[in-house]
Every structure is written in C-alpha cells, then in structure tokens.
Amino acid sequence: MPLLVIEGLEARVGDKPILNGINLTVNRGEIHAVMGPNGSGKSTLAQVLAGNPAYEVTGGSVTYDGKDLLEMDPEVRAQSGIFLAFQYPVEIPGVSNAYFLRAAYNEIRKARGEEEIDPLEFADIMDEKLAMVDMNPDMLARSVNSGFSGGEKKRNEILQMAVLEPRLAILDETDSGLDIDALRIVADGVNKLRRPDNATIVVTHYQRLLNYIVPDYVHVLANGRILKSGGKDLALELEDKGYDWVTSGSPVGAGAGARAGA
Amino acid sequence: MSSSIESLISREYQHGFVTDIESDTLPAGLSEDVVRAISAKKNEPAFMVEWRLKAYRRWLAMKEPHWPNVKYGPIDYQGISYYSAPKTKKPLGSLDEVDPELLKTYAKLGIPLTEQKMLSGVAVDAIFDSVSVGTTMREELSKYGIIFCSFGEALREHPDLVEKYLGSVVPYSDNYFAALNSAVFSDGSFVYVPKGVRCPVELSTYFRINSADTGQFERTLIIADEGAYVSYLEGCTAPKRSTNQLHAAVVELVALKGATIKYSTVQNWYAGDKDGVGGIYNFVTKRGKAAENAKISWTQVETGSAITWKYPSVILQGDNAVGEFYSVAVVNNHQQADTGTKMIHIGRNTRSTIVSKGISAGEGNNSYRGRVQVLPKATGARNYTQCDSMLVGNRCGAHTFPYVEVGNNSAIVEHEASTSKIGEDQIFYLKARGLSAEQAVSMIVSGFCKEVFKELPMEFALEAQALLGITLEGSVG
C-alpha cells in the first residue's frame, strides 16, 4: 500500500482556485521533489496536506496510510506521522524551544500509545538530535523561532523533524533564504533521517537543494496541476531550460504523478 | 477567525456550585444600624464601631466613581445584604469543629483545610461569605511570633496592632468603595511578622462567596516589621448566579524598614455567562507602604469577575524602597477589566517595576491604567513599565491609560508597550506539531505571560496557567 495517494485534489483560498486536480502517489522510502514557478500551487499543496484551515479543499481525495487524510484535524495528521517543515516558521514568544519540542514529542508519543518522556530523558534525546543538525544547545532555551535568523528558523524546523521522526515529511521551500553552508547542514539532516519506512516531499523552486537531497522523482507543478513528472534528471533539465519549457507545453495529463511513483 | 479559535473561549466555570448551609444573614440594606449590627456581631472594640461609622458617613457624601473604562448598570446598595455567615452552634475551637459541609466545599475547591495542608508548606485562612471559617498552621507559625488569623480575631486578640495600622495605608476616606468597605467589612485576614523574622511558609487566604444577594467586603492587613519577610497568596471563587454580586475589598500592606512583602493573587470570581449575565463586580483597593529599604511586590492573575476595578499600588516612602507590580489580566465573553497600578516615589533612589500583560478575548474589554509619580524629593528614582496586550479574535478591546508625573529631574522613567494578536498561523503551527487547539492557545498565552508567571510561587504558577487555559477555552477559532 502506498503511503500517500493524492487523486484529483482541488483547493482554493477564498474564491481563488489554486490546486486544480493534483495526482501524486508516494511510497515509503521515496523522496519526491515538487518544483514549479511562483504561484504554481507548491506551497498550497504542502499546506493542504498538513491541514491548514486557511485553504479549502473543493475536490479530490487524499489517502494517507489507507485513511482519509482530509477528514483528519491537523494535530491528528501530525500525530499520525505527517510533518510540514514551514516555509515561514512561526514565532511563539515566551515559549522555550525545549518545552515546545517536548510537548510536541509527547503528544505524538501519546498518539502512538507510548509513555510520555520527562525533561531529563528528553534532554538526552536532544543531545543526539542537536548534533545531527549541527545546532547549538543554546537554541533550546530560546523562545520558539523568536529572534532567530532565517537560517536558524529553517534549521529549527529540521531539528523538529529529527525529534518527531515523521513518516511523511513535507519540506516547504526549506532552501529559501539559506546560505550554502546552512543548505548543506539542512540537507545532511534530511538525508540522515531517511529510512526505508518513511518518505519525503521536497517542495522547492530551485534545483540547488536537489544537489544535496537527491530525489527519486521530480514533479513540475504549474497552475495547480502536475504538468510533468520524471526522475532526478528532470530537475537539471528544468534548471537548464526554465519553467517555460514545461508550462508552455501541453500537460501530460492526470495520472502522471501516479505513474511516476509506480 | 476559523472555528478553532472561536470554540476555545467558553468552557464552563468550574467553581460555580452552591453550598447548602444554614446561614445567619442580615436583611438587605445599609444604615448606621446595620453598621452597628455588624460590629456587634463581631464583638468589636469601641474604636472600631466609631471608625466604621465615620467611614459610613463619609461614604454617604461620596459618589460612585465612573472614570474606569467599564460599563454597568446602577448598583442598588440597599438591595445588598452586608453580612452573611454560616451558622455555627458555638465558637470554633479548632479546625476539627468546622462544619463538614464547609470542609467539603473547600476540598472541592482544592483547598483542604485539614492539617495535611502543612505538608505542602502553605498556611490557609478560609473566608466563607463574611467570615473566616478556619486558619491552618497557626501553632506552628506562633513559634516564630507570626500572627496569622482572621481579622475578627485580630481585633479581639491584638486590638493595639489593628488600631495602629488599620487605615494607615488606605484611609477610610480614600475612595467610594474603600469607604463602603471600611463601614461594613466583616472579616478578612490579618498577618503580623515580627522584626527580622522570615515567614517559613506561604500564607494564603481563600475567599469564597456563597450566599446570594450578599456582598463580600473583606479587609486584609499585613504588617511586616523591620527586616521581616512574608509571601502571601489569595484565591477567590463564587457560585454561578444570574445576578451581579459586589465584592469590594481593601488590602493594606505595611512593610517597615528593610521588610519584604510579596503578595500574589489568583482571582477567579464567577465571571458571568457567555452573554454577560451575572458575575462578580470586583471593586478592590489594594495598596502598600514601603519604608526605607523595604520592598513590596504585587503579582496578580485576574481571570474571573464580570468587572474588575483594581490598582494594587505602592507608596515608596522610604529611601531605596522597591515596588513591583506583575499582572496578567484576562477577559473573555463580556468581561471588563480596568486594572493597573500606582507607584508613588517619595523617597530617594526608590525603584519600581511594572509588567502588565492584558489578554482580551470574546467581547471582553481590558484596560491597563497606571500612574507613575515621582515627587520632587525622590532624587534618583527609577521606574520601568512594560505593558503588553494580546487580542484573541476581533470583537475584543485592549486599552492603555498610562499616567506619568515626574517632579524630579534626576528620575529615569521608561515605558514600553505593545499590542499583538494571537495568530491563526501560530495556532496552526502548533497543531501541525501535534498539539490540540486548546494546548496551542494555552501555550501561546502562557508564553506571553511568562514574565509574570515566573513571579508566582511554583504551585500557584501552575494553577494560574491552568486557569488561563480554562478562561480562554472557546476563545480561539
């Protein structure tokens, strides 16, 4: 059974349709890159999968691990192993990163029927995770994303991902605003977290990130549809020819993503 | 706003039950006879009756203040009963003799009045309607010479101390509600910590209004003698009733040379229902006077009451005196709060800190009102004020009325203010990490109030945090 099956997904913000029939299948162990020009619907897809109520789903279905994802509240999705690394991580002043992370970790443990972890045990877990994303332990005492630089915020997202160990991670433009060193650290983190039983969707505008996180499949999104799917070379071709190459041509039609993932 | 924020602001009030107990209640109405009757019921010394009557006559000549940024219909002062006490067959010898129904009430509220409470290091005085029903740990405290008892007992057993300090910080003529309180107050807590003694436990008073159509008018007087230290907590609840009830209390703190008084409040009076029907009018005067090198620190978490009107203040009289005010005020549904502080700098090198966090949800209105006054002789005075407001939803209001008067050129006065809105994006971010909407709001608000919560004693901080979560339930959506 595939981990994620998206069929004919349509969504809008207010009156504006943004997704116009997305088809995509993701199996365990795979990394999918979703690319596309600005405004193509990449981030909307990521937000809809995480359950952001600002987006209204108007058609289609999403099946996650055999269950109807669209029926699930955002927190239930997170507890079921879906993780969205935000393009714009949100600041929560006065709440320490450590407290926030442990609360999230424990919610997810509870949902799995596991016992909650006390602060001391959690500190041990954090040591290892911090090393994985090359983060200073001082970050744990700071308020969630408050006063963090752009790069620190993105790294903090990957730290959360490392702690929560999702089954399906969605990275929304995690590379934007990162210098090359930070990009490498973030990509290293993602690669270290790769396992045969989890999957990753990398949403990105640029090919650059895909030099470090090598995808199994690349999908090109425009006007809320997947216009073209292929292997990792598609990203290089896009870099070379530009998005016009795909968007000016005719769509390859529904089911392209599904075929690519099959 | 999406439905998640909306659905979070309205959970049922948890302490809204009524205790079925026979009580001795004066008929409604206020007159000199009623004032005398209250005094007689308490077997008070003569000076007390005179003081009450002076207050009453003064009150008659005063007008109810309408400058606060709150709205309410006229209060019928003749429609209120000014005294209600649970009936007891004889004077209580010890806590074992307290009516089991009352003990149950306090147990239900999480305030066990048994001596077990000693283990947790808190001594409790429980005030039920107009009278104190029991004070724990008194023997233990008396070893240190600390007096912790009901106001009534203090009047009987330590009249000199009461006479010396009563009204020394809040005179009976201070304001309309203070005058009313001075005339009719029936009980309250009294604390005296002798010279150089550090009170080894937290002292706490738990106020409970039970009877319908009664007002609660308690008076608290805390005296920390030279070099003494005391930390005092108060908590308040009341049953759910559809009529408004008046609570007009006075708290006076006297910190003598080098003494420290830390006073913490978690106020959770019934706030009325979601349409704004019923609830307590909480019109309270709290003030402390700090002598040389003394320190008075107020911390308040105001989550209840239909209307809150209170300004815990410090008169920084002696040189180097320190005043602090840390406040969290939450309003939801139709609650209104007009609260803040006054820091009056009289002595040299006096310092004050004000940190106010106002949270408004539903159709609540929250006002911060503060006065920082530096008198001409207060050379080297310093004040720092930080005043932050958080809005939950788009039907609530946050207002700030800071007054600053500086009469000495060497003073340094700082004021910082901010207003923010609890964001859908913050809530979604936390939900996307597996937290429920309630946990998310509670976490965001707790973070916002962190600087105040850290001033509360540990167990109170947890209670306050939980209360905040409950008050805001249904506020987010």
Q: Is A117 on the interface with B (CB under 8 A)?
A: no
Give the CA distances from residue B473 to residues A247, B6, B439, B467, B477, in Å, rounded to whole numbers and listed in that order. 48, 9, 10, 10, 10
Which residues are within 8 A (CB) of B166 and not within 5 positions of it... i.e. 6 or more apart?
A: B51, B221, B252
pLDDT, position B417:
92
Query: Of the ranges B167-176, B231-240, B434-443, B448-457, which is most confident?
Result: B167-176
Q: Is A44 on the interface with B (CB under 8 A)?
A: no
| Mean pLDDT in residue range A114-125 | 88
Q: What is the pLDDT of residues B416-455, one digit of tens each?
A: 999 988 888 999 999 999 999 888 988 898 889 888 888 8
Residues B61-65: contacts with CB under 8 Å, at least 24 apart: B62/B175, B62/B176, B62/B179, B63/B176, B64/B176, B65/B175, B65/B176
Whether residue A42 has pLDDT greater than 90: yes
Q: What is the pLDDT of residues B387-413, one digit of tens each?
A: 999 998 888 999 999 999 999 999 999
Residue A213 resides in a domain = yes
B214 close to B86: Cβ distance less than 8 angstroms: no
Q: How far apart are CA A120 and CA B470, in angstroms?
A: 28
| Mean pLDDT in residue range A176-200 | 88
Q: How far apart are CA B112 and CA B95, in angstroms?
A: 11
SS3 state of residue B13: coil
Backbone angles phi, psi at A248, to 5 degrees: -80, -20
Written in H, E and C, the secondary structure of A83-137 is EEECCCCCCEEEEEHHHHHHHHHHHHHHHCCCCCCCHHHHHHHHHHHHHHCCCCC
Q: Is A89 on the interface with B (CB under 8 A)?
A: yes
Q: What is the pLDDT of residues B258-288, one digit of tens each?
A: 999 999 988 877 778 888 788 888 999 999 9
Query: How many other CB atoms are there within 10 angstroms of residue B5's CB atom?
Result: 25
Phi-psi region for residue B183, left (φ > 0), alpha (ψ -120 to 50) or beta? alpha
Residue A170 resides in a domain = yes
Q: How far apart are CA B175 and CA B311, in angstroms?
A: 12
Chain A CA closest to residue B436: A75
Query: Of the ranges A253-262, B14-23, B196-205, which is most confident?
Result: B196-205
Residue A10 resides in a domain = yes
pLDDT, position B240:
64
Which residues are within 8 A (CB) of B51 and not within 5 positions of it... i.e. 6 or more apart?
A: B166, B167, B172, B182
pLDDT, position A185:
84
Closest alpha carbon to A83 in A119, A117, A107, A113: A107
Residue A135 resides in a domain = no
Amino acid at A56: E
Residue A239 resides in a domain = yes
Helix (H) and strand (E) counts in chain B: 12, 23
Q: Do B431 and A73 touch (CB under 8 A)?
A: yes
pLDDT, position B7:
42
Whether residue B14 has pLDDT greater than 50: yes
pLDDT, position B272:
80
Q: What is the CA radius of gyration of chain A?
A: 18
Q: At what angle do helices B437-448 and B424-431 cross, to 10 degrees?
A: 120
B54 close to B110: Cβ distance less than 8 angstroms: no
Residue of B430, B437, B448 lying closest to A93 (CB–CB): B448
Whether residue B140 has pLDDT greater than 50: yes
Query: How many domains are there within chain A?
Result: 1
Q: Do A94 and B451 touch (CB under 8 A)?
A: yes
Q: Do A52 and B428 touch (CB under 8 A)?
A: yes
pLDDT, position B73:
87
Q: Do A75 and B451 touch (CB under 8 A)?
A: no
Q: What is the pLDDT of residues B76-130, one digit of tens each?
A: 999 888 887 766 544 444 555 556 666 666 566 555 555 444 334 556 676 666 5
Residue to substitute from B357, B429, B452, B465, interface A, most A β-carbons within 10 A? B429
Residue of A73, A75, A92 lying closest to B426 (CB–CB): A92
Q: Which residue has the tokens 């995509």?
A: A24
Whether residue B34 has pLDDT greater than 60: yes
B230 close to B262: Cβ distance less than 8 angstroms: yes
Backbone angles phi, psi at A245, to 5 degrees: -55, -40
Higher pLDDT, B109 or B74: B74
Q: Is A143 on the interface with B (CB under 8 A)?
A: yes
Amino acid at B278: G
pTM for the model stands at 0.81
SS3 state of residue B53: helix
A135 close to A126: Cβ distance less than 8 angstroms: no
The terminus-to-terminus CA distance of chain A in angstroms comes to 11
CATH value at residue A220? 3.40.50.300
Chain B CA closest to residue A91: B426
What's the whole-number average pLDDT of chain A? 89
pLDDT, position B237:
65
Q: Which residue has the tokens 């299948």?
A: A25
Show residues of chain A in contact with B429, CB under 8 Å: 86, 89-90, 92
Whether residue A250 has pLDDT greater than 90: no
pLDDT, position B110:
58
Q: Is A100 on the interface with B (CB under 8 A)?
A: yes
Residue A197 resides in a domain = yes
Residue A137 resides in a domain = no
Show residues of chain B in contact with A78, CB under 8 Å: 431-434
Share of chain B above pLDDT 70, in %: 79
Whether residue A255 has pLDDT greater than 70: no
Q: How buried is A3 (Cβ within 10 angstroms: 0-12 exposed, 13-18 middle, 19+ buried)?
A: buried
Query: For residue A144, what are the β-bridge partners?
Result: A92
Q: How far apart are CA A10 and CA A224, in angstroms?
A: 8
pLDDT, position B9:
44
Higher pLDDT, B264 or B459: B264
Domain layout of chain B by residue ranges: 3-472
Q: Do A160 and B433 touch (CB under 8 A)?
A: yes
